[in-house]
Amino acid sequence: MFKKLMMMLALAALPMSQALAGVDDDPKAVVETAVNGVIQVLKSRPNPKTITDADREAIRQAVEPYFDFREMARRALGKPWKKLSEEQRKDFVATFRELLERSYGNRLSEYHNQKVTYGSVKTKGRIAIVHSEVVDESKRTPVLYKLVHRKNGWRVYDIKVEGISMVSTFRNDFKQAVSQKGLDGFLADLKKRVDKLRGQDKAKS
């Protein structure tokens, strides 16, 4: 459960403001500003034990500029991505994004003032890796961010928590599902899965 919390803290933690000039051009600044942003949202919640629709929407609006969800979704799906039409790709990216938000988003309610420290940055061509740690009362959890450089700056496309890649985890799950039900069956089931999660969130509210 702690690992899922750290994954979503890393995933959803994006800036509420772009006040820091040049953030887009510095991968470490993108990550650091992002984490500070999501922590700010979590600390300002009226109820520190829950994540409301308003909280999700605030995080969603903040996420858009700094995560490359298309790249994330493409890597998560793997080879079947090539078989999708452009319309199907857009639909899959939207579904995948909501799956992330609703599968892991509620874990953010478990946030209890963990601190984040930042380490080295490695850049090779258009790819950058930013090292960080989430410091809890009893442990330090390594979190690694992978970013790709686009025309509008650095964008996160994968996160590793304690060496486990979010994209690779989804790719393994998706590969098995596609193998069992085919691409069309997998896509249909993914939508049903998101619908179920949406219903569960609505029931809780």
> How would you write the pLDDT of the chain (205 residues) with one tens digit per residue?
545 545 555 554 443 334 344 678 899 998 887 777 778 888 888 888 788 888 888 877 777 778 899 999 999 999 999 999 999 999 999 999 999 888 876 677 777 788 889 999 999 999 999 999 999 888 899 999 999 999 989 999 999 999 999 999 999 999 999 999 999 999 999 999 999 998 888 887 6
The two tokens of residue 199 are 């219903």
Distance CA 8, CA 5 (A): 5
What are the chain's domains? Answer: 2-204 (3.10.450.710)
pTM of the model: 0.83
Helical segments of 44-139, H only:
53-63, 69-77, 86-104
Place of tokens 């599902």: 177
CB atoms within 10 A of CB 165: 17
φ/ψ of residue 67, rounded to 5: -115, 140
